[in-house]
Amino acid sequence: MIFQHLPILQILIPLLAAPLALLLRTPLLSWALALVASWASLAVSVALLLRVLAEGVVVYELGDWAAPWGIEYRIDALNGFVLIIISLIGAIVVPYAKRSVEAEVQDRRIYLFYTMLLLCMSGLLGITITGDAFNLFVFLEVSSLSTYVLISLGRDRRALIAAYRYLIVGTIGATFYIIGVGLLYMSTGSLNIGDLARLVPALADNRTVQAGMAFLTLGLSIKAAVFPLHLWLPNAYTYAPSAVTVFLAATATKVAVYALIRVVFTIFGGVDLFEAFGVHTTLMMMAIVAMFVGSIVAVYQGNIKRMLAYSSIAQIGYIILGLSFDSVTGVTAGIVHLFNHALTKGGLFMAMGCIALVAGSVRLDDMAGLGKRMPVTMAAFVAGGLSLIGVPLTVGFVSKWYLIKAALEQGSMLIAMLIVLSSLIAVAYVWRVVEVAYFRDPPDGDTAVREAPVSMLVPMLILVGASVYFGIDASTTLDIAGAAAAALMGVGG
Amino acid sequence: MLALLVVTVIAAVRSTDLFAAAILFGIYSFLTAILFMDLDAVDVAFTEAAVGAGVSTVLLLSTLRLTGRYEQRHKHSPALPLVVVGLTGAALVYGMTDAPDFGDPEAPAHTHVAKRYIEDGPRETGVPNMVTGVLASYRGYDTLGEVFVVFTAGLAVMMLLGTRVRGGRSSGREAIGDLLVLRVVGKVLIAFVMLFGLYVQFHGDYGAGGGFQAGVIFATALIVYDLVFGEADARRVMPHIWTERLIAIGILIYLGVGVAGMLLGGPFLDYSKLATDPVKGEHLGILLVEFGIGVAVFGAVMSIFNAFSGLRLPSEGGRDDV
């Protein structure tokens, strides 16, 4: 019986845990509950993906009403894979969060913090798993609201302003999305994604449908921080509590990109979107500019959390670039980079959280000599940095290899060169940190080793380790991403 | 009506007196509610009137008590926002040029999924009000999600403003003085508002209404009590910790109904398994779920109101925890 209910359990576990965590009201118990819920959720998502790979698409009809009348959950290789990203990061962030949150969030708010984290997790999972465009919006709201609050909990007062900015921009994004859904409902009468994909091609010339497409794409691009709609991101990541930054950087924008993939390749898959409206070239241009601007701005940041945030904008550029090729290889590269970047950035921001806890600052100037004082954390940072650059034997290399392959498939030597060139900029910003941490002496000559607690080091090492493991043996992730891309392009023809 | 709406909103935006703007937004919501009535969307009109015109205005006013009445002049130029708004408007107008005609019975929105809701809804769900049928059953999962949005919003306000009970709470007489008229009218009114709330709660399956509206109405009754008789008395009726617990309990009722459907062999939120007769089960499920919504919404609105009214002006304490 459990087996048949897997799709709903994926959401139900964190969703049930959230009000329970609120009722418990004690930091330790709420944390323990979040821990159990996140690991159970990970187990469910692994079981689900295995089932999808074995049997094909899994459908679950909520309330026993068949779609399109009721709401259905529909899991294929693509969202099964994204579910794993979210729940994996969730399961690793919760143990990491314990010490970090104790240091950064007030005691009497900690139980609320875990309630919010669980809600955010459920929201992101809900967006990913659903087969219904309006249901997606509902969970988008749950995840967005909880995200704003989580960001605002940062110690720095600027966290409040960052959260407020994001709230305004994020609300505009969500409103655009719902206007788009409304326009599509007006002209098709359906909210089900699969149903829409069937109905839309016949209406490709309808202006209401076209406007709907524009609103959907734009709304989700804001949430995904696609350049030039990324302005909310750097401050939000910089001032949020460390554990929150890890979770958001590794999951939130990825889920928005996933939703974007659904809109572009599933709902409008039957329409020759890329050709008809020049979306192809627009996205490609934006992606390339993002790769360069994000990386170059990152080089000049004094706050390393902010530097990593700008690097995220560049990395989202790589993902969008992959999608814009509109080929199986390109989309595979985009999807696999969702996973790879989540591992890399999650690990890097975890290193920042350790440094914030022990050294009290994540500014570059305060990092002198950290290579000696926090050897494990800095080693993890270097490994993560290598993956950002795309050095062989890391996941970053796998992603970039596929991107370049996709570019060459299209006969575009220029884009392949640009990918390599932008990676060289990543060398510059990673090297700045390495130089200060390893080759400069600590200001007070204090070289005694003081590391972060084991409960934070282990999750960090797991993520960094995974980003090396999947860099050496990428067959699993590439197979799944390839299957997902083939299914998407099969629909898109 | 539409012209009035436009006038109101322009007045609200241009006004630097935030108090006036808050009231204007209340009027705006009320006009919208009347428009919805005009379009025969009674349930939506009801919600808009209760939430938009009622509670939101109260919350905006309580915020103003903390911030000050007049707006500061902005320094940044309005050019960029104007361009964005203009483009959005243009895109909407462009989209509308191909939209089905207003009220066209052949429009896709009426012929695709809605057809079954209208023709078979009452029979399949056992509730005559098909809006309730769609909300609580066909798309019951969305409604669960919406309750979670309310839950998140309530918690968000609590987290940002803090829930610490501070000293110096006033009970009735000190709060607004001994206004006899207000007290007598308040007493009578509260009883009727609560009765109306109960009616809306348990009659949502036949007429307009349901858990969302009922929760808000019930909360209104308590807010009136709070305003007339003072916070200390109101807190005695509904202690702080309970408003917080009620949100969680309401949500757990909803989830519980869903899980019960699972345990009885159906998918999540399958109410038809709750009784031997599937239609009766649907009806029962909808009632229980609406009750859960009512409890959760009540708790959330109260928590938000308490969080605001619990704060004093900055000189008297302000954010105690920054």
Query: 3-state SS of A275-311?
Result: HHHCHHHHHHHHHHHHHHHHHHHHHCCCEHHHHHHHH
In tens digits, what is the pLDDT along chain B, a chain of 322 residues? 778 888 887 887 777 778 888 888 888 888 888 888 888 777 788 888 877 777 788 778 777 777 766 766 665 666 777 888 888 888 888 877 777 777 677 777 777 777 777 777 777 777 777 777 777 777 878 888 888 888 888 888 888 776 554 444 444 444 455 567 777 787 788 888 888 888 877 776 666 667 788 888 888 888 888 777 766 677 777 777 787 788 888 888 888 888 888 888 777 878 777 777 778 888 888 888 888 888 888 888 888 887 777 664 443 333 333 3
Which of A23, A63, A210 is opposite residue B141, by nearest beta carbon? A63
Specify whether B138 is located in the same domain as B9.
no
Which of A15, A109, A191 is opposite residue B159, by nearest beta carbon? A109
Specify whether B58 is located in the same domain as B139.
no
Residues A211, B111: C-beta atoms closer than 8 Å? no
Check if A148 contacts B (Cβ < 8 Å).
yes
Domain assignment present for residue B123? The answer is: no
Residues A22, B247: C-beta atoms closer than 8 Å? yes
Residues B96, A23: C-beta atoms closer than 8 Å? no
Specify whether B166 is located in the same domain as B64.
no
Domain enclosing residue B182, as ranges = 129-315
Q: Name chain A contacts of B164, Cβ cutoff 8 Å.
A: 108
* 3-state DSSP of chain B: CHHHHHHHHHHHHHCCEHHHHHHHHHHHHHHHHHHHHHCCCHHHHHHHHHHHHHHHHHHHHHHHHHHCCECCCCCCCCHHHHHHHHHHHHHHHHHHCCCCCCCCCCCHHHHCHHHHHHHHHHHHHCCCCHHHHHHHHHCHHHHHHHHHHHHHHHHHHHHHHCCCCCCCCCEHHHHHCCCHHHHHHHHHHHHHHHHHHHHHHHHCCCCCCCHHHHHHHHHHHHHHHHHHHEHHHHHHHCCHHHHHHHHHHHHHHHHHHHHHHHHCCCCCCCHHHCCCCHHHHHHHHHHHHHHHHHHHHHHHHHHHHHHHHCCCCHHHCCCCCC
Return the number of CB contacts < 8 Å for A and B: 172
Q: Of B19, B42, B70, at which residue does a domain stop?
A: B70
Q: Name chain B contacts of A119, Cβ cutoff 8 Å.
A: 148, 151-152, 155
**Angle in degrees, CA A324, A328, A334, rounded to 5:** 50
Distance from the A47 Cα atom to the nearest Cα atom in chain B, whole angstroms:
18
Residue A228, C-beta contacts closer than 8 angstroms, at least 6 positions apart? A286, A289
SS3 A206: coil
Domain assignment present for residue B90? The answer is: no
Q: Check residue A90 and give its pLDDT.
A: 94
Give Cα A21 distance to the centre of its chain.
Answer: 25
Give Cα B197 distance to the centre of its chain.
Answer: 13
Specify whether B155 is located in the same domain as B248.
yes
Distance from the A427 Cα atom to the nearest Cα atom in chain B, whole angstroms:
36
Q: Check residue B167 and give its pLDDT.
A: 45
Domain assignment present for residue B320? The answer is: no
**Angle in degrees, CA A451, A457, A461, rounded to 5:** 130
Distance from the A64 Cα atom to the nearest Cα atom in chain B, whole angstroms:
6
Specify whether B58 is located in the same domain as B163.
no
Cα separation, A192 vs A198, whole angstroms: 10
Name the token pair of B28: 């705006």
Question: Which residue bears the tokens 């829930």?
Answer: B163
Which of B149, B156, B269 is opposite residue A138, by nearest beta carbon? B149
Q: Check residue A272 and give its pLDDT.
A: 65
Domain assignment present for residue B87? The answer is: no
Q: Check residue A378 and give its pLDDT.
A: 92
| Alpha carbon separation from A80 to A42, A86, A481, B150 (Å, rounded) | 11, 10, 10, 28
Instruction: Please say whether the beta carbons of A337 and A477 come within 8 A.
Output: no
Residues A19, B114: C-beta atoms closer than 8 Å? no
Instruction: Please say whether the beta carbons of B221 and B200 come within 8 A.
Output: no
Question: Residue A286 — left, alpha, or beta (φ > 0 → left; ψ -120 to 50 → alpha)?
Answer: alpha
Check if A358 contacts B (Cβ < 8 Å).
no
Residues B160, A116: C-beta atoms closer than 8 Å? no
Specify whether B66 is located in the same domain as B154.
no
- Structural domains counted in chain B: 2
Question: Residue B103 — left, alpha, or beta (φ > 0 → left; ψ -120 to 50 → alpha)?
Answer: left
Smallest CA-to-CA distance from A18 within B242, B149, B286 is with B149
Residue B58, C-beta contacts closer than 8 angstroms, at least 6 positions apart? B220, B223, B305
Smallest CA-to-CA distance from A97 within A125, A116, A122 is with A116
Instruction: Please say whether the beta carbons of A203 and B112 come within 8 A.
Output: no
Choosing among A115, A186, A216, which should be mutated to test the B contact, i.e. which has the most B CBs within 10 A? A186
Low-confidence stretches of chain A (pLDDT beneath 50): 491-493
DSSP of A469-483, one letter per residue? HHHH--HHHHHHHHH
Give me the amino acid identity at A127: I
**Exposed, middle or buried, B207 (CB in 10 Å: 0-12/13-18/19+)?**
middle
Domain assignment present for residue B105? The answer is: no
For chain A, domain boundaries? 1-162+190-198+232-272, 278-493
Name the token pair of B265: 């062999």
Residue A70, C-beta contacts closer than 8 angstroms, at least 6 positions apart? A61, A62, A63, A64, B138, B139, B141
Specify whether B33 is located in the same domain as B151.
no
Which of B148, B158, B270 is opposite residue A63, by nearest beta carbon? B270
Cα separation, B293 vs B132, whole angstroms: 12
Name the token pair of A336: 């696999």
Domain assignment present for residue B94? The answer is: no
Residues A135, B271: C-beta atoms closer than 8 Å? no
Smallest CA-to-CA distance from A75 within A190, A180, A174, A193 is with A193
Which of A138, A149, A191 is opposite residue B160, by nearest beta carbon? A149
Specify whether B39 is located in the same domain as B138.
no
Residue A231, C-beta contacts closer than 8 angstroms, at least 6 positions apart? A165, A169
Residue A420: count of CB within 10 angstroms of its CB: 12
Check if A47 contacts B (Cβ < 8 Å).
no
Distance from the A287 Cα atom to the nearest Cα atom in chain B, whole angstroms:
22
Q: Of B70, B88, B113, at which residue does a domain stop?
A: B70
**R_g of chain B, CA atoms, integer Å:** 22
Cα separation, A482 vs B9, whole angstroms: 51
Cα separation, A256 vs A225, whole angstroms: 9
Specify whether B157 is located in the same domain as B297.
yes
Specify whether B51 is located in the same domain as B198.
no
Residues B267, A8: C-beta atoms closer than 8 Å? yes
Residues B94, A207: C-beta atoms closer than 8 Å? yes
Distance from the A460 Cα atom to the nearest Cα atom in chain B, whole angstroms:
28
Check if A295 contacts B (Cβ < 8 Å).
no
Domain assignment present for residue B247? The answer is: yes
Specify whether B55 is located in the same domain as B200.
no
Question: Residue A478 — left, alpha, or beta (φ > 0 → left; ψ -120 to 50 → alpha)?
Answer: alpha
Residues B112, A188: C-beta atoms closer than 8 Å? yes
Q: Where are the beta strands (DSSP E) in A24-119?
A: 58-61, 72-75
